[in-house]
Amino acid sequence: MNLKECRLLVTPTSYGKNDARLKTELEALVGEVIYNPTGKPLTSVEVAELLPGIDGYIAGLDVIDADALKTADKLKVIARYGVGFDNVDLEAAKSKNIVVTNTPGANSVSVAELALGLILALARQIPEAVDAVHQGKWPRYSGVSLEGKTIGILGLGAIGKQLARRLAGFDCKILAFDPYADKQFALDNQITLAEMDQVIAASDFVSLHLPLLPETRGIVDEVFLNKMKKGSYLINTSRGEAINEEALLKSLQSGHLKGAALDAFIVEPPDPNHPLLALPNVIATPHLGAQTDGATSNMGWLAMKDCLAVLKEEKPLYRVA
């Protein structure tokens, strides 16, 4: 297919933000590029309004369901800007012969760095301490050292591995669960592999890095939380849907969990009156794990290359459907 005849839809709001070449090179290669007009992830209705006449779609966290794809009269590829594709109806895409790709590993370093930052922020009560000083106070908080503690990593994929590497210098014990664990990596990096129940029961900090699948949706429920060590901390930089937020609230209010750091919620942005946001031992960030210069550029280049490869009838690097 002649790229100069192609019209592309690009919806990630950070696309080209840190590397202008992503836009200039794409615009030079294809006939027309249409960017996200809303500045936020698109709803199914909004996607449906933009898809007619579109050949390639570099997609952010938009809702791409069967209804959205009904208007896709020319679409050949959805190139997800990121690793998750749970918002894409793969069966609907397949029925219309639309290839779906993603960008695995592109944001792994950035998300792992945020997870480590949140662990430290919880351990040393950094947000509370900063807020106190801004109010003219000078409290003496008693923090938690990572030295000698056990860090549990659920999901030893690209992000989990990067987190483990960064924890290596803190003299802590690392436990990990992954159904398809890289045993050689674990051996080389002094990581103890164990079943999920063993990891969550023994860990002082549990960091979630599991993909959102039917079996992981709501996995952090009351049973899961009750198995965690009393006084431990939960960190989630994966998907908000992995956590039953009501169960987490109860666990924090009861004192069973000492704190939680959440970069993702079921509904984003969460209501300002969300009960979890009222707790001083909850650190909430606006799903910014992948929002660094390195991650956005990596995701942009990978998504663009695979999108154009499909349009040129070549094999993409990271096809998921």
CB < 8 Å & 24+ apart, contacts of 274-280: 274/245, 275/249, 276/245, 276/248, 276/249, 276/252, 279/249, 279/252, 279/253, 280/128
pLDDT over 90 (residue 129): yes
Q: Is 239 a catalytic residue?
A: yes
Q: Which helix (H) or strand (E) holds 33?
A: strand 32-35
Q: What's the predicted TM-score (pTM) here?
A: 0.84
Res 84: pLDDT: 81
pLDDT over 90 (residue 83): no
Annotated catalytic residue: which of 80, 113, 209, 287? 287
Q: How far, in Å, CA of 244 to CA of 27, rounded?
A: 43
pLDDT tens readout for residues 227-255: 999 999 999 999 999 999 999 999 999 99
Q: How far, in Å, CA of 51 to CA of 49, rounded?
A: 6
pLDDT band at 1, cuts 50/70/90? confident
Annotated catalytic residue: which of 5, 49, 268, 314? 268
**Mean of the per-residue pLDDT values of the chain:** 96
> Tokens in use for 155?
């999901």
Q: Is 165 a catalytic residue?
A: no
Q: Is 80 a catalytic residue?
A: no
Annotated catalytic residue: which of 239, 256, 313, 314? 239
Domains, in order of start, for the chain: 3-106+292-311 (3.40.50.720), 108-284 (3.40.50.720)
Res 105: pLDDT: 87
pLDDT tens readout for residues 160-216: 999 999 999 999 999 999 999 999 999 999 999 999 999 999 999 999 999 888 999
Neighbours of 236 (CB within 10 A): 25
